């Protein structure tokens, strides 16, 4: 086995901790070398996953460590672009959770830094590493549905995942809808030319400027249409589905049951529903990290890089603008 | 048993023939008395279903027959409003296939005639008579989902149901989407205040002004949102689904398998899909006709009358206008 | 249309009433001419379904009416064989509910009468007229599973269908298991050479000699094996399933949901279950009666005749004997 | 973290390799210290999974290493009992793949050694660690079905898992049926008092004394009945299902789809089927090993020990005897 890739974790919240576990336990070629988080406990907890891993409350310690070859950024969304730039300047390969940035100008600056420093960048669109999404894309790409005509995507996060204030500035588009936007681009292989969005807020407290429920229509370059409905208020769990139709048929990727138990009684038939995103996509998160580590080790460009991340972000911003302006918004094709 | 209600069929195409069969064979209280269709063969075929039923190539024979108490209108959409008016003037109770009319002014004229002549009117939104839709509405009306927040509806007709030219003037909205519009109003109990629609044409031949694929976003008075995706190009059959979500859960009404057979082989697991609308809604068509006959017999107003038909039609027109003008269209609340 | 076939109903309980309805309303070529039942109310109720139908408390009135061409026997099981004989002597074609008889000697006497008087006989194995069973048989007969190796059948009747004392003398085998025995013969096209049965009683009251729960193993002539599990105590409804496997795959015929509604809430996902046998097999009952009437009208032998009924009965008796003697029982191949 | 438990692997075939991977990568508290297999390549491959692990072609090297605290036995079935004895004598805690032994006398000798040397023993009934089986047992144990009356279990291994000669001496009962026997005891909490088995061979080559397809009826102490159908010839994958019914309802544990993809086309609806046992029970294998390591670390007795393993084996032997003798075989209640 080659020398393991030493990786530093920047941001040790729920998602960062999951990535840390994959790096520490599941991916032979990786070594969790350090974890940084402003919350000292979080940083310590992540570092404790791997023998010898160091912790710090600032990510500078990671960027300045020459033994660390790559970083995983799972810090708050608003910090992603800046840390990508810094990491690129420090010559580290970068895995960054989605979104790339919170606005497109920042995203472009980050991508420019990645390009000029010649580092690798992968963005955390884990659905692309889910076997069901991959199989669906294969079928579509092979022309087995004919040209795509219509798609319906939905993401429902469990009710308790919402937090007051989290939905300001149409954050749902950049946090949640972005997954649907990316996976529709991934599945169909098409680019979006127009976006219309509508949204509402049903959470507690004053709703000014908050959104937790959204509906979007996309028009693709070929005239194909898609709808997206997203909500942060699902009582029954985590519900991610997508359906893509062409003249020869449709493909549906659905939410799994959590277990294979069904119960039949005088009230009918009952089974469970996958509740947490890790239960649905745990394997995909592991596989995306394996892909990143392998790309770093072999010096190749990861599959889900800056261009895809930028395209999804441009669509999320168009959705937010459509909502603000109450009209469909045209989107230029990616360069 | 009381004297049977003598019914005249106006329009003996596929749908008219189905209604004729229900009247002739399934509904004890009804008697198919006559069938009219410009196509003599069609008229004869329908009349042959019941001993003693007469046929004609013009519906005037039916309207002028004093022994006929009610008519079932299943003629081309563009003739509905006019025939309703004539039937009302002739004092016949009316069951009319959806849509009520092809524009709102015509619809209003027809409704005015119905009102002034004091006849009963029922419109053919058969989904309201489907046990699954009825059960879903009960659950929602009982508050078991909490207030509705998000809905997703879809109707996909089998590919072969399309006909060149059929999609002119956004006819999909008035022919197909109108079922989704009505069933969303029925299920949620809410009124729509804004409609946005986008559409495309993927059929053969020149596409000018034709539509066979549509996506719609509805905004309800409460801020609840819904999407509709409709297509006339489903290779796999007839696919009608709706999902309604509130803070306590969601209800899904789906498409059934045709039979209870599943086949497992080296390629996986395979089962059939309901293919034709009669297979999915045959029972509902029968039940809506039973309801109509019972209302006529008992002299009460049918559940699905002019106000509901007009409301759905107003939404279908708003969708067509949104498509033409490329912007969301506000809809006044029904009076 | 030809002269309708005038049919007399003998036995107007639940099942007889269903057949009467099909004859009176659904089957154009049939006319319900008379209904007989020792319970006058039952006889009157059935006769009321068709204008002009007569009623009686004894079936002799039907057998002696020369205008009646065929009879439907839905009287208690113990009377079937005798009434078949009488009907054959009277020259009537016979549809008889399963079982043919309550022992094999009686069955043989009835079949001899049918043969010597040259009347038609059809037995009520309605599963053979269910589209799912028919499709499954087609697939198997076409060799698409390869030679059958293993089958698993189950029938569960709703809890409330049980009656104290009904399970005496292993009646479950002749009343319920006989459907599984027939459908396994029908699906596989194979004959059974050995039967082993075990059974229990879980109902209320003293259990002496009663059975409401049974498990059976069949060995077919080719070495293929099947299990059957039957119960009269299903809380959740009516549950009939069968699975047939060969080296190329398996076919499963399952129980349908009653409606297409699924409900998702914090406790999981819930849907209904078909509850009553008419809901699962209503269409099959209608189709078997159509087949019978058509055979009578055309003078051809029905598909599900005496030989099949006798074979299933021989297996049910073998199961009862296996249970009594506590050992597998060999069964001779049908002549 | 405490000092890791050093574990030696005895038998590095497919199953042993899986256990080795869990020990090496997934279970923090365990350390794969050594791997033994008569096939040097197999031993080397397993040892290569963990830095510092040694390999050998004989398990004596493992048993004589005082730094090794526990062993995992995944050698051929016929060697289990002897190696358990040796390991017990060497003072090692033992995880042994099922079956405990190939006959009951051997099993008893192994259990006696375990008892007299005071080591821990866990047997590899991994279904007991599957969340679906655990949930089903909870529901049953809580009385939510009422007393168990009827159960139906099936295990189908993929066609290619068969090997000529593998089915000699009714090996299917001790290799495959034993899982159903154990899981029925686990789920119902009941003991079996009688077993009847029938079996066939459909594989290639001469069939003398071979079995690859089996059907079994169990009678429990309460009169509850169960059937088991097992086959090594499933074309469509790995299919493990069980259904347990009481007067209040039934529980079904089924086979999952492999992915959440469904495909709809003109031929119907298609989805995949779990194909390999690791795909269905991978998580359960990991969890059983975690349980074992935790029991070793904490010095407590594992949940699935010798008594359960012996009971299942006694039933498998009774099935084999029933097959040989062509009659039901009574089984004494476990001591």
State the count of interchain CB pairs (< 8 A) between A and B: 111
Pick from C253, C73, C23, C65: nearest CA to C152: C253
Pick from C243, A187, B239, A251: nearest CA to D259: A251
Q: Spell out the alpha helix ranges (H) of chain B.
A: 14-21, 40-47, 60-63, 80-89, 104-117, 131-141, 171-172, 178-188, 277-298, 306-325
Do A268 and C265 lie within an 8 Å CB cutoff?
A: no
For B187, the token pair is 């299920």
3-state secondary structure of A104: helix
User: Does residue B46 have a cis peptide bond before it, meaning omega lies within 30 degrees of 0?
Assistant: no
CA distance A327 to chain B (A): 6
Residue D133: partners with Cβ closer than 8 Å, 6 or more residues away: D127, D183, D186, D187, D242, D253, D284
pLDDT at residue C101 greater than cutoff 70 = yes
Residue C203: partners with Cβ closer than 8 Å, 6 or more residues away: C162, C164, C167, C210, C212, C232, C233
Res C64: pLDDT: 97
Distance between CA atoms of residues A220 and D141, nearest Å: 54
pLDDT at residue C164 greater than cutoff 70 = no
3-state secondary structure of D250: strand
Q: How far is CA A194 from CA A310, B212, B282, in A?
A: 16, 19, 39
pLDDT at residue C2 greater than cutoff 90 = no
User: Does residue B99 have a cis peptide bond before it, meaning omega lies within 30 degrees of 0?
Assistant: yes
Phi, psi values for residue D214, rounded to 5°: -145, 150
- Give which of A262, A263, A265, A269 to mutate to test C binding, by max C Cβ within 10 Å: A269
Residue that is written with structure tokens 């991508």 in the block: A111
From the list A147, A198, A226, which residue is nearest B219 (CB)?
A198
Res D132: pLDDT: 96
Partner chains of D (3+ C-beta pairs under 8 Å): A, B, C
**Which letter, b or e, does each residue of A102-121 get, where b requires 16 or more Cβ atoms within 10 Å of its Cβ?**
beeebbbebbebbeeeebbb
Pick from A104, A116, A184: nearest CA to A151: A184
**pLDDT tens track for B256-270:** 788 999 999 999 999
Q: Which long-range contacts (CB under 8 A, 24 or more apart) does C46-52 make?
A: C46/C9, C46/C12, C46/C16, C46/C17, C46/C20, C49/C20, C49/C21, C49/C24, C49/C25, C50/C20, C50/C23, C50/C24
pLDDT at residue D327 greater than cutoff 60 = yes
Banded pLDDT at C161 (limits 50, 70, 90): low
Distance between CA atoms of residues A50 and A31, nearest Å: 8
pLDDT at residue D294 greater than cutoff 60 = yes
From the list C236, C265, C266, which residue is nearest A266 (CB)?
C236
Supply the mean pLDDT for chain A: 94
Q: What is the dihedral of CA B278, B284, B286, B289, to 10 degrees?
A: -120
Do D273 and B264 lie within an 8 Å CB cutoff?
A: yes
Res A206: pLDDT: 73
Q: How far is CA A109 from CA B231, B285, C230, in A?
A: 42, 61, 70
Res D163: pLDDT: 66
**pLDDT tens track for C187-212:** 999 999 999 999 999 998 777 789 99
Distance between CA atoms of residues C228 and B309, nearest Å: 52
**Which letter, b or e, does each residue of C273-301 get, where b requires 16 or more Cβ atoms within 10 Å of its Cβ?**
bbbebeebbeebbbbbbbbbbebbbeeee
What single-letter DSSP state applies at residue C167? Answer: T
Residue that is written with structure tokens 């089958």 in the block: C151
Distance between CA atoms of residues D221 and D334, nearest Å: 11
* DSSP-assigned states of every residue in B183-224: HHHHHH---EEEEEEEEE--SSS--TTB-SEEEEEEEETTS-
Res A161: pLDDT: 65
State the CB neighbour count (10 A cutoff) for residue D329. 18
**pLDDT tens track for A229-258:** 999 999 999 999 999 999 999 999 998 788
Q: HSE on the CB side for C63, CA within 13 Å? A: 17
Distance between CA atoms of residues A292 and A123, nearest Å: 9
Distance between CA atoms of residues B305 and B88, nearest Å: 14
From the list B26, B28, B253, which residue is nearest C260 (CB)?
B253
In this structure, are residues D174 and D232 in contact, taking their beta carbons and an 8 Å threshold?
A: no
Residue that is written with structure tokens 């190696």 in the block: D83
Residue numbers in C near D227 (CB within 8 A): 152, 215, 217, 227, 229
CA distance D272 to chain B (A): 4
Distance between CA atoms of residues A120 and A301, nearest Å: 6
What pTM, to 2 d.p., does this model score? Answer: 0.94
Determine the distance from the C-alpha atom of residue D93 to the mean position of all C-alpha atoms in its chain, rounded to a whole number. Answer: 18
Do C265 and A235 lie within an 8 Å CB cutoff?
A: yes
In this structure, are residues B245 and B252 in contact, taking their beta carbons and an 8 Å threshold?
A: no
State the count of interchain CB pairs (< 8 A) between B and D: 43
Determine the distance from the C-alpha atom of residue D310 to the mean position of all C-alpha atoms in its chain, rounded to a whole number. Answer: 12
Distance between CA atoms of residues D17 and D282, nearest Å: 12
B264 — contact with chain D (CB < 8 Å)? yes
In this structure, are residues B51 and B23 in contact, taking their beta carbons and an 8 Å threshold?
A: no
Do A150 and B201 lie within an 8 Å CB cutoff?
A: no
Tell the burial category of C209 from Cβ atoms under 10 Å away from its Cβ (0-12, 13-18, 19+): exposed
**pLDDT tens track for D38-79:** 999 999 999 999 989 999 999 999 999 999 999 999 999 999
ipTM: 0.94
Q: What is the pLDDT along chain B (335 residues), one digit of tens a residue?
A: 468 999 999 999 999 999 999 999 889 899 999 999 999 999 999 999 998 999 999 999 999 999 999 999 999 999 999 999 999 999 999 999 999 998 899 999 999 999 999 999 999 999 999 999 999 999 999 999 999 999 999 999 998 766 667 888 889 999 999 999 999 999 999 999 999 999 999 998 777 789 999 999 999 999 999 999 999 999 999 999 999 999 999 999 998 788 999 999 999 999 999 999 999 999 999 999 999 999 999 999 999 999 999 999 999 999 999 999 999 999 999 87
Do C264 and B248 lie within an 8 Å CB cutoff?
A: no
Res D162: pLDDT: 60
**pLDDT tens track for A291-330:** 999 999 999 999 999 999 999 999 999 999 999 999 999 9
CA distance D203 to chain C (A): 9
Res C163: pLDDT: 66
Q: Which helix (H) or strand (E) holds D218?
A: strand D213-220
Residue numbers in D near B265 (CB within 8 A): 235-236
For C326, the token pair is 């506590």
pLDDT at residue D209 greater than cutoff 90 = no
Do C261 and B136 lie within an 8 Å CB cutoff?
A: yes
Distance between CA atoms of residues D318 and D312, nearest Å: 10
3-state secondary structure of B150: strand
3-state secondary structure of D243: strand
**pLDDT tens track for B32-62:** 999 999 999 999 999 999 989 999 999 999 9
Q: What is the pLDDT along chain A (335 residues), one digit of tens a residue?
A: 468 999 999 999 999 999 999 999 889 899 999 999 999 999 999 999 998 999 999 999 999 999 999 999 999 999 999 999 999 999 999 999 999 998 899 999 999 999 999 999 999 999 999 999 999 999 999 999 999 999 999 999 998 766 667 888 889 999 999 999 999 999 999 999 999 999 999 998 777 789 999 999 999 999 999 999 999 999 999 999 999 999 999 999 998 788 999 999 999 999 999 999 999 999 999 999 999 999 999 999 999 999 999 999 999 999 999 999 999 999 999 87
Give the bridge partners for B153, in sequence order: B228, B242
What's chain C's length in residues?
Answer: 335
Distance between CA atoms of residues B229 and C42, nearest Å: 52
Res D253: pLDDT: 97
Tell the burial category of B118 from Cβ atoms under 10 Å away from its Cβ (0-12, 13-18, 19+): exposed
D266 — contact with chain A (CB < 8 Å)? yes
What's chain A's length in residues?
Answer: 335
C residues 36-75 lying closer than 8 A (beta carbon) to B: none
Do B154 and A152 lie within an 8 Å CB cutoff?
A: yes
Determine the distance from the C-alpha atom of residue C151 to the mean position of all C-alpha atoms in its chain, rounded to a whole number. Answer: 20
Do D248 and C235 lie within an 8 Å CB cutoff?
A: yes
Residue numbers in D near A155 (CB within 8 A): none
Distance between CA atoms of residues A331 and A317, nearest Å: 10
Pick from A297, A36, A316, A48: nearest CA to A169: A316
CA distance A191 to chain B (A): 16
For C86, the token pair is 């009488």
């Amino acid at each position: 086995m080659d020398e393991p890739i030493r990786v530093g974790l920047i941001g040790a919240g729920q998602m960062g901790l999951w990535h840390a576990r994959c790096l520490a336990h599941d991916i032979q070629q990786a070594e969790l070398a350090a974890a940084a988080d402003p919350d000292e406990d979080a940083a310590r907890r992540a570092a404790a996953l791997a023998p010898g891993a160091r912790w710090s409350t600032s990510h500078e310690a990671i960027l300045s460590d020459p033994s660390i070859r790559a970083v995983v950024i799972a810090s708050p969304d608003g910090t992603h672009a800046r840390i990508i730039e810094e990491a690129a300047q420090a010559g580290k390969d970068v895995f960054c959770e989605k979104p790339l940035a919170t606005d497109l100008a920042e995203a472009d600056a980050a991508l420019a830094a990645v390009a000029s420093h010649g580092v690798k960048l992968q963005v955390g669109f884990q659905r692309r590493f889910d076997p069901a999404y991959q199989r669906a894309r294969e079928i579509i790409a092979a022309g087995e549905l004919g040209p795509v005509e219509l798609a319906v995507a939905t993401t429902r996060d469990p009710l308790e995942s919402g937090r007051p204030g989290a939905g300001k500035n149409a954050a749902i588009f950049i946090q949640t809808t972005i997954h649907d936007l990316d996976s529709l681009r991934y599945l169909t292989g098409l680019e979006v030319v127009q976006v219309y969005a509508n949204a509402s807020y049903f959470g507690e407290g004053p709703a000014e400027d908050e959104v937790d429920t959204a509906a979007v229509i996309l028009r693709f370059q070929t005239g194909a249409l898609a709808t997206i409905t997203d909500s942060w208020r699902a009582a029954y769990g985590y519900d991610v589905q997508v359906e893509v139709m062409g003249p020869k048929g449709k493909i549906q990727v659905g939410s799994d049951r959590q277990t294979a138990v069904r119960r039949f009684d005088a009230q009918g038939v009952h089974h469970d529903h996958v509740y947490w995103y890790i239960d649905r996509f745990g394997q995909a998160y592991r596989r995306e990290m394996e892909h990143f580590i392998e790309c770093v080790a072999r010096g190749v460009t990861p599959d889900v890089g800056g261009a895809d991340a930028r395209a999804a972000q441009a669509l999320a911003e168009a959705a937010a603008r459509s909502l603000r302006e109450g009209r469909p918004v045209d989107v230029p094709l990616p360069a």
